[in-house]
Structure 1
Amino acid sequence: MKKILLLLLVFTSLCATSQIVYESVQRTNIYDFLDELANEKIISINSVVKPYSRAFIAEKLQEANEHKDLLSKRQVEEIEFYMKDYRLEVVYNTKGMKPLNIFPKKDHIASSLDPMAITYRDSLIGFTLRPIFGLEYFINSNEAAFHRWGGVEGFGYIGKNFGAYTSLRDNHENVIMTSTTYFNQRIGATIKGSAKGGGDYSDARGGLMVSWNWGAFGIVKDQAIWGNNYNGSNILSGRTPSFAQIKLELKPAKWFEFNYIHGWLVSDVIDSNRSYWDGDTYRDVMHSKYIAANMFTFIPWQHLNLSFGNSIIYSDIGVQAAYLIPFLFYKSVDHTLNSTNNYAGQNAQMFFDISSRNIKHLHLYFTFFVDEFSISRITNSSEHNFLSYKGGFRLSNWPLKDLSLTTEFTYTLPMTYQHRTSTTTFESNSYNLGHYMRDNSMDIFFALTYKPIRGLRVDLSYAFAKHGNNYVYGVYEPGDQAPILKDITWQESIIGLKGKYEFINNAYVFAGIFISDIQGYDVDGLTAEDYLTLFTPEMYWGNTTTINVGFNIGF
């Protein structure tokens, strides 16, 4: 930690143009709006790595605002609306912040309703404090459930170099909807269960970043989403609980970007050699577990991004200096450190992503995740590599304004994301770091999104997913001959209609209705109910029509 702080101090000597504070990836409206502007070629973004910084979002909103002749009336209103929130990144005072400003005669401190915050800003320091509260209610013929959360978030800047942020959310679910094995996209959590049912969990995020005019470096505890997607990434999905990570971002040229993380994961594997008795209490100590990952993005033409990278999950050797070098091919490093013995080595991956917005209104993308690969398997029809594919497109504002069409397909082969060694699985807190459907699965997603006025979006969607035999790496051998989707153990189809309105910045009301058919099947000695229990909250079993309503201030 002392070395990290020393590096942060060294970087402050560099000339900075903007400070870095990351915007929550759960604030989907602003991410979706930037995506819409990029699809229309009004701005350019690299959407392969998220979250974005607030300064980046403010910059892109200002850039779009310079092309008002290309914007619709709604888009102009969206920009004006969001700039009320992102003004902290642009101006050095609080003049004009309203309504409900209890400091009307002050130029540098203000309270406001839109956004709901207390803000201080001058030429050196900026800080804002905001409440978090939300309530979500679900009901169908099987059960009624709710999710309640509350907390506070704050972020600020010092000078032109430092950005910092923090947040805390306490959550309660009366019916547990989040689990390491569930096939849904709710963000993972370590839940403290209750004898009455349901459970509680908390989520603390934050970070300290130093930035300069072509890069940023720091340490954060946050989500990481890598890979273009509209329905769950198959590289890093961001579904795990947030984890601590060193981050490095470099943008030295218009045609090149680089991202790197080194993260401290949670293994959930007890280290019996380090665990011990303390009086009559036995203290469990977990194995340490880490991830190092990099992503190189080349932009040969504007709006065409070609990205590739690699990662490694490692443990039992402490923080390895070689994995702190951002630009390495980590599989080769692993061979040097641990020979080529699979049982001595770590767990490495590669990935590729192509994103094209060269055709106005249209975003095309393809993602390829490689867990284990051998050339000999390509020519052998009875064997397969451990791979995941994702492809899709979004058509925005054509042929009809304010309407977008999204199509996405994901296909993951058996044993992908799994590993023979429990301390180096592609997981944190036992949640898969990759696609929410994990291995031996297929997922299809369609959506029509309509935005008739500023802040309102209506989504009509259809999702179909299925999971084959639930193979376990090392139990089914050889793993590269496991049949692909031979026997279906679980399947779902969902038709959804949902509306959401952002009435002030970062505050929403929403409602939806979802018609679903989720089934399990008798396969491999387990019953249909066994698979439903493993993969789905009980309230969604079978044919159901679920009504969902709620509101939230912050996330």
Structure 2
Amino acid sequence: MKKYVIYLLFIICSKQLFAQSVYLHSSHQVYSFLKKVEAKQLITNYRDAVKPLTRTDIAYFLAVVDSQKIKLSQVDIDLLNYYKEEFYQELKLMNLLSESDSVILNERWNLYSYKSGGAIVNGNFVGGYTYRDWAFDKNTRTRSNGLITYGYLGNNIGGYLYFRDHQQGGSYKDPSFRFSPEQGQLPVRYTSEHVEYDYADAQLNFDVPYVTFSIEKMSNVWGAGNRGNIILSSKPPSYPQVKIRAKLGEKAHFTYIHSSLHSELIDPVNSYITPFSSSDSTMRTIYRQKYLSAHMLEFSPINGIDIAVGESNIYGNRSPELLFLIPTMFIKSSEHYTVDLDNNQMFGSIDINLIPNYNFYGSLFIDEFSTEEFLREDRERNQIAFTVGMQAYDLIYENTNFLFEYTRLNPWVYNHKFPDATYQSHNYDLGHWVGQNGDLFYSGITYSPLFNLQLTFEYEKVRKGGKKENKYQYMLPTPEFLYSPTIIDSFYGLKARYEPIRDVVVDFHIRNTSFSQEEAIPLIEQFPKTKANYTSKFDLFLGIRYNYQ
């Protein structure tokens, strides 16, 4: 019966050859819910190695879960109904609302909603205020406001705009959110009292049968991971790109992007000085071009196993190359055509849900690797990163989630001899926020007594070594993992997330933290030491936010 229902839903959705697409930001809580029901084996062919997914894709999987909701706890049923109201428009567009749904459920409220003919537009305000009392006796206050709007036009056009303006004050101001998974920002104004920055995403999508074409400014989250992603992550500010996502039947997806990164490298040839007044002049600064080309193939060889493989290339200091505008080009071979001027990477991930209520996952990022010299300590230069993790749902008590995750990044991962070919944008690594020569262990236990309340007890330890001059990247033997000067940052504590009203979220955490950083060593790069070492001090955070992503 289960297979029949899923097959029927797939046929219904497949007949909609011109389905509109709007990608849902990767931070939305519905992704965690779908991960749980996948581990419970209520859905199959749910592939999330490339995020974000579209709202219509998510609505489809919610409909599949709804057909088997008898297997869910009451908390999860309440959460499912909550998400069905959130994606009511998409469920209705795909004819996936039952008669009882039309009576019981209410379409979510929007501050502004416009429907006429084939057009649907939704709009809402965005706002928030957060306060953090740091363990090193400083504090940060941040207020924000903005707007979000998204909608559909006809049968094949979808659009989205999200904007948020921030003012950060207090005794500690850090819009880069250094050494944390929070997205780094680009300050636009500094004063003695505060720093200002803004956040903006946008997308315009066009659908034809089985393929979605996009021009957008969005964050890519590729690979498996809960506390960071080693392939592509939301740590750097989002960047503009063109994207193609193709559905290759029920068992596979293919995604291609070509992105414009920011090199932070001044182009001395094209920069120039121009008169500003009779006595002054000003510099017109031009930055060197920098681009990312990447693709990923996701497929499900059997139910319960999802595999993704892909590659990428960073290149710069020239116009976009036609070679990298070919979505299906084998990027590794492009090194030969460009005479090894660029920076190629290969990567993959696996997601396993073969045991009910258990999810095992892993990702591998290969910057440089030699199979012949892998086991030779005097020869190996294996610049790789990997993540392994597991989640166990309802293991001891209903509505619980146990999470364990470990990530390691070898020295020189994301680096390159040419500064316009590093795996970075605006000097932020495109992958994991820990960066090269570091590792992270995270564990957490989450309990949800209500569908809109999550309580988590968590522990994390991060270690990060130094970074020598670039010449050592190409010398043998490779420096040992976590060479000095090292940083060790750890905490344990409680965090809570409560959503009393739709999209109004109250966040709180209290942590017992410890931090140590070795003294600087000449010619070895490390984060600047901005605070003294400490042991067992408390870190407090409280925030209230509306329509945050």
- What is the TM-score when the length of structure 1 is the normalising length? 0.88
Structure 2 contact 387–407 (Cα < 8 Å) conserved: yes
Checking the alignment, whether the CA contact within 8 Å between 1:128 and 1:154 is kept in structure 2 is yes
CA distance in 2, matches of 1:444, 1:323: 36
Offset at 1:474?
2.4
Q: Which residue of 2 aligns with 1:544?
A: 537
**Deviation string, structure 1 residues 96-127 (Cα, Å, up to 9, x no partner):** xxxxxxxxxxxxxxxx9954431123551111
Deviation at 1:169, TM superposition (A): 0.7
CA distance, structure 2, for counterparts of residue 407 and residue 379 of structure 1: 28
Distance 2:83 2:532 in 1: 37
Partner of 2:264: helix, strand, or coil?
A: strand
Question: For 1:288-367, what aligned pairs fall within 5 Å after superposition?
Answer: 288-336=289-337, 338-340=338-340, 345-367=341-363
Measured in 1, the distance between the counterparts of 2:516 and 2:345 equals 32
Which residue matches 1:50?
51
2:139 is equivalent to residue 144 of structure 1: yes
1:440 is displaced (CA, Å) by 0.8
Aligned equivalents of 1:316 and 1:487: distance in 2? 33
1:211 maps to which residue?
207
Partner of 2:488, secondary structure, is strand
> Hey, what does 2:167 align to over in structure 1?
172
Q: Which residue of 1 aligns with 2:74?
A: 73
Q: Distance in 1 between matches of 2:434 and 2:476?
A: 18
Name the amino acid aligned to 2:392.
L
3-state SS of the aligned residue for 1:474? helix
Q: Pick from 259, 264, 282: which aligns with 1:263?
A: 259
Does structure 1 residue 117 correspond to structure 2 residue 117?
no
List alignment gaps of at least 5 residues for structure 2.
1-14, 95-105, 276-280
Which aligned pairs between 1:274-289 and structure 2 lie closer than 5 A? Answer: 274-279=270-275, 280-289=281-290
Structure 1 residues 17, 477: CA separation in 2 closer, same or farther (over 3 Å shift)?
closer
Who is 2:268 aligned against? Answer: 272
Which residue does 1:415 correspond to in 2? 412
Query: Are 1:404 and 2:404 an aligned pair?
Result: no
Give distance in 1, aligned partners of 2:146 and 2:361: 36
Give the length in aligned residue pairs. 514
2:30 aligned with 1:30, yes or no? yes
- The 5 Å alignment of 1:420-439 reads 420-439=417-436
Q: Structure 2 vs 1, CA of residues 257 and 477 (structure 1 numbering), >3 Å: closer, same or farther?
A: closer
User: Using the alignment, how far apart are the partners of 2:546 and 2:230 within structure 1?
Assistant: 29
Q: CA RMSD in A?
A: 2.4
- 1:11 maps to which residue? none
Q: CA 1:197 to 1:380, structure 2 compared with 1: closer, same or farther past 3 Å?
A: farther
SS at structure 2 position matched to 1:239 = coil
Q: In terms of mean alpha carbon deviation, does 490-499 or 196-205 score higher?
A: 196-205
Distance 1:16 1:187, change over 3 A: same
Cα deviation, 1:431-482, whole Å, max 9, x if unaligned, reads 0001111111111000101111111111111001101232342256516522
Displacement after TM superposition at 1:321 (Å): 0.9
SS where residue 253 of structure 1 aligns?
coil
The answer on 1:187 being equivalent to 2:183 is: yes
* Superposed CA offset, 1:292-344 (max 9, x none): 101111211012111110000011231111111111221211311x224xxxx
Contact 1:116 / 1:505 at 8 angstroms: preserved in 2? no
Helix, strand or coil for the counterpart of 1:60?
Answer: helix
Cα pair 1:173 1:199 within 8 Å, conserved: yes
**How far does residue 64 in structure 1 lie from its aligned partner after superposition?**
0.9
Residues of 2 paired with 1:246 and 1:391: CA distance?
30
Q: Secondary structure at the residue paired with 2:216?
A: strand
Query: Which whole-Å CA distance do the structure 1 matches of 2:532 and 2:92 have between them?
Result: 49
Is the CA contact 1:532–1:541 (under 8 Å) kept in the aligned structure 2?
no
Q: Structure 1's 525 and 543: CA in aligned 2 closer, same or farther, altered over 3 A?
A: farther
Residue 72 to residue 57, structure 1, CA distance change in 2 (3 Å): same
CA distance in 2 between counterparts of 1:306 and 1:92 reads: 30
Of 373, 376, 380, which residue of structure 2 is paired with 1:380?
376
For residues 58 and 477 of structure 2, the distance between their equivalents in structure 1, rounded to whole angstroms, comes to 44
Give the letter aligned to residue 357 of structure 1.
Answer: N
Which residue of the partner structure matches residue 99 of structure 1?
none
**CA deviation vs aligned residue, 1:215-268 (integer Å, no higher than 9, x gap):** 211111010000011110111012110101111111121222111111011111
CA distance in 1, matches of 2:436, 2:193: 30
Q: 1:38 to 1:212 in 2, by over 3 A?
A: farther
Residue type of the alignment partner of 2:196 = D
Partner amino acid, structure 1, of 2:200: A
For the residue of structure 2 that corresponds to 1:452, the secondary structure is strand
Structure 1 window deviating more from structure 2 (64-73 vs 121-130): it is 121-130
Question: Match of 1:233, as an amino acid?
Answer: N
User: What CA distance in whole angstroms lies between the structure 2 residues aligned with 1:247 and 1:316?
Assistant: 22
TM-score for the superposition, normalised by structure 2: 0.89
Q: Which residue of 1 aligns with 2:3?
A: none
Q: Which moved more, 1:495-504 or 1:516-525?
A: 516-525
Q: Secondary structure at the match of 1:217?
A: strand
Question: 1:487: Cα distance to partner?
Answer: 3.2
Is residue 161–residue 202 contact of structure 2 (8 Å, CA) maintained in 1? yes
Give aligned-pair identity as a percent: 25
- Kindly indicate whether the alpha-carbon contact (under 8 Å) linking 2:176 and 2:183 is maintained by their aligned counterparts in 1: no
Q: 1:526 to 1:462 in 2, by over 3 A?
A: farther
CA distance in 2, matches of 1:434, 1:402: 31
Q: 1:539 to 1:221 in 2, by over 3 A?
A: farther
> Do 1:415 and 1:471's aligned partners in 2 also have CA atoms closer than 8 Å?
no
Aligned to 2:450: 453
Contact kept, 8 Å, 2:403 with 2:444, in 1: the verdict is yes
Structure 1 position 130, deviation (Å): 0.7
Aligned-residue offset at 1:539: 9.4
Displacement, 1:273? 0.5
Q: Does 1:243 align with 2:239?
A: yes
Which stretches in structure 1 are left out of the alignment for 5+ residues?
A: 1-13, 94-111
CA distance in 1: counterparts of 2:375 and 2:536, whole angstroms? 43
Per-residue displacement from partner, 1:7-61 (whole Å, max 9, x unpaired)? Answer: xxxxxxx97342111112232x222111111111112311211112111222211
DSSP 3-state at the match of 1:381:
coil
